């Protein structure tokens, strides 16, 4: 784990933003922090697709990719 | 978490199947679910020539790849909607995919055909952009199927698409749409049969499949689809799914188990459901003397002429 100043880089394709957050240990904790449900996104680190209970590598950016698409304006 | 099939490290958890899979076992799961949908709903035969409607998104490109892996004869069809960067990127992914797998592809341009943008269509018809876009897609898909000699048209609609559509139709009691809320629609009066082989697979499963198979696809959403009702229905169904895994599947397939009894498919017996002849303008199969697409095209031309305007640019994604 990183020290008090360490951050985790999160690239969120859903919002089109990249942000630094306080490090979290698992995918589940990250999704809770971002208020996302596992069914709606892929969580990717490096070349790997991660499961909910997988640990996060604190030194590598995490990619959040939305899976929901489609629809029309009301 | 370990794969339930082989105990390797899992990359996807499927609570609705009380399962988790490694990449290799998940790959087998996706192929078997697709094959099962095709078999259960009598979608395809080995002799069929399938026109796959490909938008450049994860579902349609993955469907094209899966059908090819299952050894079906396929041709891709892409309608370039002319919506700025979004369409350019979508078309790029489709063309790159066809080239990578050496698969035949037909591309047509909506903007060139209508001589106006999707925004112009919405303005002229006083309807949401997606309404005109949907009408145009149905027209081009039917036309391309006939032109290529395809016997079946396949689209990449997944379980979430179909469940959210059913949810919306029931919330508003759109009884008239319910008979068509199914993954297999028969061929009528020369128009090809329509199938949705991904109906047993969720959005998450399809996005995971596309990622694991290294299929590049457009991540951007269409700029016209923001704040859509269908996205709300998907969100609500996913909240229920999180609390009660398997509900989306039970909701949709419970309906599909009943649909034949509720709405028996006898399209040829109902003259209102069958096209009456050919469109006077374009010569395509039509329910009315001038088909809906040609009427829409004429409205756009009149609208632009009346306002003395050039076609409108599309909104940025």
Highest mean pLDDT: which range of B65-69, B117-121, B290-294: B65-69
> Bridge-partner residues for B2, per DSSP?
B9
The answer, for A46 touching chain B at a CB cutoff of 8 Å, is no
Segment B250-291, tens digit of pLDDT: 999 999 999 989 988 765 545 455 666 889 999 888 888 999
Distance CA B203, CA B191 (A): 29
The nearest CA of chain A is from the CA of B228 a distance in Å of 5
B170 within domain boundaries: yes
Distance CA B209, CA B246 (A): 19
pLDDT at A4: 60
Question: Which tokens in the block code for residue B68?
Answer: 């090819």
The nearest CA of chain A is from the CA of B32 a distance in Å of 21
A2 within domain boundaries: no
B144 within domain boundaries: yes
> Bridge-partner residues for A66, per DSSP?
A41
A47 within domain boundaries: yes
CA angle B204, A41, B215 (to 5 degrees): 60
Q: Which of A40, A50, A72 sits opposite B131 (nearest CB)?
A: A72
B32 within domain boundaries: no
Distance CA B85, CA B73 (A): 31
B1 within domain boundaries: no
A32 within domain boundaries: yes
Q: How far is CA B274 from the centre of its chain?
A: 22
The SS3 call for residue B44 is coil
A72 within domain boundaries: no
> Is pLDDT above 90 for B132?
no
B149: confidence class by pLDDT, cuts 50, 70, 90: very high
Distance CA B94, CA B230 (A): 25
**What count of Cα atoms within 13 Å lies in the side-chain half-sphere of residue B127?**
13
| Mean pLDDT of the residues in chain B | 90
B60: confidence class by pLDDT, cuts 50, 70, 90: very high
B269 within domain boundaries: yes
B230 within domain boundaries: no
pLDDT at B317: 54
The residue whose two tokens read 């002429």 is B305
The more confident residue out of A73 and A67 is: A67
Looking at the structure of chain A, the number of domains it has is 1
A3 within domain boundaries: no
pTM (2 d.p.):
0.91
> Dihedrals φ, ψ of B155, to 5°?
-120, 160
H-type alpha helices, B151-267: 159-171, 203-212, 229-243, 247-262
Looking at the structure of chain B, the number of domains it has is 1
Candidates B2, B8, B9, B12, partner chain A, best to mutate (most A CBs within 10 A): B12
pLDDT at B272: 52
Distance CA B104, CA B298 (A): 32
Distance CA B43, CA B45 (A): 7
CATH of the domain at B107: 3.40.50.620
The answer, for A16 touching chain B at a CB cutoff of 8 Å, is no
Whether B81 and B112 have beta carbons less than 8 Å apart is answered as: no
User: Closest by alpha carbon to B162, among B222, B227, B251, B79?
Assistant: B251
B212 within domain boundaries: yes
B27 within domain boundaries: no
Segment B171-184, tens digit of pLDDT: 999 999 999 999 99
CATH of the domain at A27: 3.10.20.30
User: Closest by alpha carbon to B118, among B140, B93, B135?
Assistant: B135
Distance CA B155, CA B133 (A): 15
The more confident residue out of B37 and B224 is: B37
Segment A41-56, tens digit of pLDDT: 999 999 999 998 899 9
pLDDT at B165: 94
Q: How far is CA B114 from the centre of its chain?
A: 22
Domain that holds residue B96: 41-219+237-307
* Measured CA distances, B301 to A27, A33, B138, B183, B298 (Å): 53, 51, 20, 35, 5
Q: Which residues of B touch A54 (CB under 8 A)?
A: 1
Segment B62-111, tens digit of pLDDT: 999 999 999 999 999 999 998 888 999 999 999 999 999 999 999 999 98
Whether B196 and B285 have beta carbons less than 8 Å apart is answered as: no
- Lowest average pLDDT, out of A1-15, A33-47, B15-29, B238-252, goes to A1-15
- For chain B, percent of residues with pLDDT exceeding 90: 66
> Is pLDDT above 90 for B126?
no
Average pLDDT in the B221-233 region? Answer: 79
pLDDT at A1: 47
In chain B, what are the helix, strand and coil shares in percent, each to the nearest 5? Answer: 55, 15, 35
Q: Which of B58, B211, B230 sits opposite A72 (nearest CB)?
A: B230
> Is pLDDT above 90 for B39?
yes
A55 within domain boundaries: yes
ipTM for the predicted complex comes to 0.89
The nearest CA of chain B is from the CA of A22 a distance in Å of 24
Domain that holds residue A59: 8-66
> Is pLDDT above 50 for B11?
yes
Candidates B9, B11, B214, partner chain A, best to mutate (most A CBs within 10 A): B11
Distance CA B201, CA B150 (A): 25
Sort residue B252 into left (φ over 0), alpha (ψ -120 to 50) or beta. alpha
């Amino acid at each position: 784990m990183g020290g008090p100043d360490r951050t985790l880089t999160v690239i969120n394709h859903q919002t089109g933003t990249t942000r630094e957050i306080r490090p979290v240990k698992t995918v589940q904790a990250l999704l809770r922090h971002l208020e996302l449900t596992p069914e709606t996104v892929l969580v990717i680190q490096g070349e790997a697709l991660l499961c909910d209970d997988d640990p996060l590598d604190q030194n590598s950016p995490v990619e959040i990719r939305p899976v929901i698409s489609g629809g029309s304006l009301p | 978490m370990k794969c339930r099939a082989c105990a390797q490290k899992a990359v996807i958890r499927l609570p609705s199947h009380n399962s988790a899979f490694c990449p290799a076992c998940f790959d087998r799961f996706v192929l078997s679910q697709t094959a099962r949908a095709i078999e259960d709903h009598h979608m395809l035969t080995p002799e069929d020539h399938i026109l796959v409607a490909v938008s450049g998104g994860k579902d349609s490109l993955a469907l094209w790849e899966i059908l090819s892996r299952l050894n079906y004869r396929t041709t891709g069809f892409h309608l370039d909607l002319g919506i700025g960067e979004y369409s350019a990127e979508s078309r790029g992914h489709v063309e790159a995919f066809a080239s990578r797998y050496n698969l035949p592809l037909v591309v047509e341009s909506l903007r060139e055909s209508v001589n106006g943008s999707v925004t112009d269509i919405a303005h002229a018809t006083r309807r949401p952009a997606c309404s005109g876009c949907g009408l145009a897609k149905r027209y081009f898909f039917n036309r391309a199927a006939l032109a290529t000699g395809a016997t079946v048209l396949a689209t990449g609609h997944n379980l979430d698409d179909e469940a959210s559509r059913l949810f919306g139709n029931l919330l508003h009691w759109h009884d008239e749409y319910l008979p068509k809320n199914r993954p297999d629609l028969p061929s009528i009066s020369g128009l090809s049969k329509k199938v949705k082989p991904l109906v047993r697979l969720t959005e998450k499963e399809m996005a995971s499949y596309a990622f694991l198979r290294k299929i590049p696809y457009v991540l951007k959403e269409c700029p016209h689809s923001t704040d859509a009702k269908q996205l709300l229905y998907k969100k609500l169904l996913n909240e229920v799914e999180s609390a009660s895994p398997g509900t989306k599947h039970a909701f949709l397939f419970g309906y599909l188990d009943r649909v034949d009894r509720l709405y028996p498919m006898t399209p040829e017996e109902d003259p209102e459901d069958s096209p009456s002849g050919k469109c006077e303008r374009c010569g395509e199969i039509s329910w009315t003397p001038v088909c809906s697409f040609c009427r829409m095209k004429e409205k756009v031309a009149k609208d632009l002429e009346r306002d003395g305007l050039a076609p409108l640019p599309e909104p940025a994604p």
